[in-house]
Amino acid sequence: MADLTQTTHRVSGGYDIVIAEAGDPSAPAVVFLHGSGPGASGASNFRQNIDAFVGGGYRVILPDLIGYGGSSKPEGLDYTLQLFTDTVHEALVAHGVTSASLVGNSLGGGIALLMTLDHPEFTRNLVLMAPGCVAEREAYFVMPGITKMVSSFGGPDFNLAEQKRLVSNLVHPDFASKIPDALVEERFAVARTQPKDVLVRMRTPDLSPRLPEITQPVFVLWGLNDEFCPEAHSRLFLEHCPDVRAITFGRTGHWVQVERAAEFNAYAIEFLNARR
C-alpha cells in the first residue's frame, strides 16, 4: 500500500482531527469520508482503494472524523451532522485543501452532502456509497444492521469476537469470510477508545429535500442487500439531483468500496477522470 503520512489539526472547540494522506501533493485532491460504527477510521474504511486512486493520479486525503480513528473523542455532547461536517472541513482547509472531490460512505456520504451544501465552492463532484442523511434518523435506527451495532457497542461483552461480528454485518454473507483479521483488530483497538455517545447521541437530519440544490456531478453506488442504508434511497438522488448517475450491485451489503473494490475503483476513477 502507498505510504501514508499523518497530520493532526486543532480545530474550533479544541478538538484534534487526524488526516492521513498519500499520493502527489500537487495532484487533484480526493477526500474519503468514512462511515460510523465501532472502530471506524479513514484508513480502515478505504485501505483497498488508496493505491488505485494514487495510481490514477490523485492525492488521497483520509480524515478521521471526530469521535473516530485517532481524532478527539469527546463525551457528553450530541454528535450532530453539523459537528462532523464543520470539524472535518476546518481541518481540511488547515491541511491546505480548498477544493476536492468528495468520496463518502454511509455517514461520510451525509457529511459530503452537507459540506457541499454549506461550501459549494469546495466540492468539485461527489462519489457516494450508500450515503446516509437522506431520511429521518429514526428510519435508520430501525434498520437491522444499525440496531445490532448500537445495541452491542460499549457493553461489558464487547470484545474482539463481537467486533468481528459487527464488521461482518456490514457486508453480504458471501463476503464475510474475506474480512481480514487485521482489519477487525485495527477497528477493535479504536472502538475501545470510543465513548458510547458517538453512536447513541448521533443526530442527523434528513437532507433529501435539499438534493436539488446540489449541482455538482454525483455518482451513487449501492449494495442491493444493504442492512444499514436502504438501496431504495438511490432513487432520491436519481429523481432530485440535476446531474447524477447510479449503480446498484447485487449480493452486496453496505461496503461497496470493500466488497466490490476493483469495480468501485475502476468506476469511480473513470467518473473523476471524465471531470478533471
CATH number at residue 174: 3.40.50.1820
Rounded Cα gap, residues 126 and 219, in angstroms: 6
* pLDDT over 90 (residue 149): no
Q: What does the pLDDT look like over 63-114, one tens digit per residue?
A: 999 999 999 999 999 999 999 999 999 999 999 999 999 999 999 999 999 9
Domain of 83, in residue numbers: 5-273
Q: Which residue has the higher pLDDT, 162 or 113?
A: 113
Catalytic residue among 34, 172, 233, 254: 254
Give the pLDDT of residue 176: 96
Rounded Cα gap, residues 68 and 193, in angstroms: 9
Give the pLDDT of residue 74: 98
Percent share of the chain, pLDDT over 70: 99
* pLDDT over 90 (residue 151): no
Q: What does the pLDDT look like over 217-265, one tens digit per residue?
A: 999 999 999 999 999 999 999 999 999 999 999 999 999 999 999 999 9
List the alpha helices (DSSP H) in the chain. Answer: 42-46, 50-55, 81-94, 107-118, 137-141, 144-152, 160-169, 181-191, 197-200, 234-240, 256-259, 261-273
CA proximity to 151, closest of 185, 204, 196, 190: 196
Q: What is the dihedral of CA 100, 103, 109, 112, to 10 degrees?
A: 0
Please tell me the least confidently modeled range out of 153-157, 176-180, 235-239, 248-252.
153-157
* pLDDT over 70 (residue 183): yes
Mean pLDDT, residues 1-23: 97
Query: With bands split at pLDDT 50, 70 and 90, how would you rate the model's confidence at 40?
Result: very high
* pLDDT over 80 (residue 194): yes
Query: With bands split at pLDDT 50, 70 and 90, how would you rate the model's confidence at 156?
Result: low
Number of domains in the chain: 1
Dump the DSSP string for 4-58: -EEEEEEEGGGEEEEEEEES-TTSPEEEEE---STT--HHHHHTTTHHHHHHTT-
CA atoms within 13 A on the CB side of 199: 22
Q: Record the pTM.
A: 0.97
Mean pLDDT, residues 133-144: 93
Catalytic residue check, 34: no
Mean pLDDT of all residues in the chain?
Answer: 96
Angle at 96 between CA 83 and CA 62, to 5 degrees: 60
Rounded Cα gap, residues 105 and 117, in angstroms: 17
Give the pLDDT of residue 155: 65
Mean pLDDT, residues 159-172: 94
Residue 230 backbone dihedrals phi, psi, to 5 degrees: -65, 135
